[in-house]
Chain A
Amino acid sequence: DGGITQSPKYLFRKEGQNVTLSCEQNLNHDAMYWYRQDPGQGLRLIYYSQIVNDFQKGDIAEGYSVSREKKESFPLTVTSAQKNPTAFYLCASSTGTYLKTQYFGPGTRLLVL
């Protein structure tokens, strides 16, 4: 089945710890995205990548880092500099066709211990 997988489903972070969220897609999409969703709020863009080995900051990139070494993978690291990391993190990818519709993964919920 083609799709986007995110792991783990739940992740716990200790104070001062960096954690990495995984996002993999087998849709052969060029572009990938990371969003943060807080309760009762919309989707805020953290980072996005239009092509392998290139990525751009979104609206709330501080305290996060990404890499895009392979087309199918776009991991997100939540660093210790992110003081309020508790949120639902969503990965998405989009086709290179005209409308470039974004498709979302199932999400990872990050909680702070």
Chain B
Amino acid sequence: QQQVKQSPQSLIVQKGGISIINCAYENTAFDYFPWYQQFPGKGPALLIAIRPDVSEKKEGRFTISFNKSAKQFSLHIMDSQPGDSATYFCAARMETSGSRLTFGEGTQLTVNP
């Protein structure tokens, strides 16, 4: 029940295309869902986050879509660029767990020029 399942494991898109990464969870006590971006050899950096009381959040080319009834959320990267090539992690947090996060397995995104 603590797991967050992420798919696909890897994704290749062409420059200008849309990248979509999906995550699913079981525990309805999760109340905060961040996405992290990690470049090789670096630590993850917070990209965008959403709470379950909204269905969508957009920041520039990055959008989170949230489906509370389906217990799913996804990251959409519009107009994907080669510089977006990185590993993306979704995560979830329960208020009762303080700031402890449960991470998905990660998606390695490659954007071809």
On A, residues with C-beta under 8 Å from B are 4, 6, 31, 33, 40-43, 45, 48, 50, 90, 92, 94-95, 99-107, 109
| B104 touching A42, Cβ below 8 Å | yes
Q: Given A42-B105, A101-B34, A101-B49, are A107 and B41 neighbors across the interface (CB < 8 Å)? A: yes
> Out of B41, B101, B105, which one reaches A102, CB within 8 Å?
B101
> Out of B49, B93, B99, B103, which one reaches A43, CB within 8 Å?
B103
Beyond A33-B100, A105-B43, A109-B41, list 15 extra A-B contacts (CB 8 Å): A6-B43, A31-B99, A41-B106, A42-B89, A43-B44, A43-B89, A43-B103, A92-B43, A99-B32, A100-B93, A100-B98, A101-B46, A102-B99, A104-B36, A107-B41
A-B contact pairs, 25 of them (CB 8 A): A4-B43, A33-B100, A40-B9, A40-B108, A42-B6, A42-B89, A42-B105, A42-B106, A43-B89, A43-B103, A50-B98, A90-B44, A95-B99, A99-B32, A99-B49, A100-B98, A101-B34, A101-B99, A102-B34, A102-B46, A104-B36, A105-B43, A106-B42, A107-B42, A107-B43
Residues of chain B with a CB closer than 8 A to A99's CB? 32, 49
Distance of A107 Cα from B42 Cα, bound (Å): 6
A33 CB to closest chain B CB, in angstroms?
Answer: 8
Q: How many residues of B contact A (CB 8 A)?
A: 23
Is B18 part of the binding interface, using a Cβ–Cβ cutoff of 8 Å? no
Residues of chain A with a CB closer than 8 A to B103's CB? 42-43
A74 CB to closest chain B CB, in angstroms?
Answer: 14
- Proximity string of chain B (89-113) to chain A, C-beta cutoff 8 Å, 1 when within and 0 when not: 1000100001111011110100000
> Out of A45, A103, A106, which one reaches B100, CB within 8 Å?
A45
For the residues of A in contact with B, the DSSP-based class is: strand
Residues 42-58 of B contacting A (Cβ, < 8 Å): 42-46, 49
B3 CB to closest chain A CB, in angstroms?
Answer: 10
Cβ-closest chain A residue relative to B31: A99
Distance of A103 Cα from B46 Cα, bound (Å): 7
Residues of chain B with a CB closer than 8 A to A106's CB? 42-43
* Closest 6 A/B residue pairs (Cβ): A100-B99, A104-B43, A94-B99, A42-B105, A43-B103, A42-B103
